[in-house]
Amino acid sequence: IRVLSANYALYADLSSRIVAIMERFVEQVEVYSIDEAFLDLVGYEQLYPDLVEFARKLRATIRQWTRIPVSVGIAPTKTLAKVANWYAKRQATADGVWLLNSPAGVEEALRNFSVNELWGVGSRYATLLRRNDVRTAAQFAALPD
């Protein structure tokens, strides 16, 4: 067993610094938790026409100024952005950035994404869904309201 102390003051300071860096790139930054934020890129199409290049520059700046590696998921909704971020962390070809901006890309991502990994789907609900043969996010999205 290895015991490590939690230094919440340090985590909060680093989080604040990272948010300040993100605010240099865009005005609307919604801090979701100490280690997660959503950036609203609506209206930035002229400034950042290549979203992947924008995300790489953001990652590089954060890394250079804080030494903290971050991943970036880009998509039209927060839930899809979290899915994209999941891929950004796990796909070797992603290099820390994943863009979901086409219907085909979203469909493929959700088809390969476990329903229990979806934001807001807790363990009980995931169990209920699996009992009803809903195993992927694509199957979940296809369910009637």
Task: Give catalytic residue positions.
Answer: 36
Are 86 and 114 within 8 A, CB to CB? no
What contacts 29, CB < 8 A, 6 or more positions away? Answer: 19, 22, 23, 37, 38, 39, 40
Find the Cα–Cα–Cα–Cα dihedral 86, 91, 92, 94, rounded to 10°: -70
CA distance 67 to 74: 22
CA distance 65 to 61: 6
